[in-house]
A and B are shown apart, each in its own frame.
Chain A
Amino acid sequence: MSNKLSSSVPTDREVVLGILNNSEDALNRLYTGHFPMVLQFILNNNGDEDDAKDVYQETIIVLYNKIKSGDFELTSKLKTYIYSVSRRIWLKKLSQQNKKTSNNLSEFEDVIAVEVDVEQHEEKDMQFEKMKTAMLSLGEPCKTIIQDFYMHNLSMQDISEKFGYTNTDNAKTQKYKCLQRLKKLFFQN
């Protein structure tokens, strides 16, 4: 089994370069390559498959952002890094849920120091969650307009056509109103 697994795991350099070049394949192989390890860890520490998915995706996002931000140095194996971050995140989740923390989580130190990375991620994640709640409470059609314009990079022309506005000015006015509401929601929280 281990042979098969390691053959599907790309080398660390491949992954870093691939992510820097926005290679979907690299991300894909990174994700599928290391998931079993984290899954096993979570399952053996009072978690289920969904916990494993959440923790693992957060871990990958941390790694992804770190690589993207350019200050990622390969001081350890990616596998070790992923394991450490997952462990740290899961530990926090467990203590937040106030579940009975199993001993072997707390009894050994981090394999490598990932505390800072995880904390940075948590800050970002807070922003993300804030935006998410703001978006969700925005309501239609504002949400779609904003998403189309800012996230999917549609032009005002496309939007006014999609929503059937008589001219782009109307669309613009509508977008402006929506944006004001979203800003209000976002900065309120």
Chain B
Amino acid sequence: MINFEFLLGHYNYWAVIVLFLIGLYAMIVKKNLIKKFMGLNIMDTSIFLFYISMGDVEGGVSPIIAHGGGSEVIYVNPLPSVLILTAIVVAVSTTALALSLIIKIYEEYGTLDSERLVELMGW
């Protein structure tokens, strides 16, 4: 017995899973080094979405104590967003390093095709 309400109710997780798998697929299948890395970025983005959506509370407002705001206000959980801010910084620095390496690879080898590179390297 499949619980459709449960499955559809968590549509955000489905989006995350689909994005994660698209990213993983691109990393494994694509030959171009830049496309491989774009796959990784898609994968990272899916994880960011996962974090942010899990911190969301239905009907919640941004967690800033407004002037005169009572205690009955529901706030969204700010911690996952804070965590993901750090993770985004990590992803950006990885991306920057990877792209600079890719530039160097293209300068040295004249190609970005991973199969061609493996041939050139003799691995």
| A and B pair up | no
Listed in ascending order, the chain A residues whose CB lies under 8 Å from chain B are: none
Listed in ascending order, the chain B residues whose CB lies under 8 Å from chain A are: none
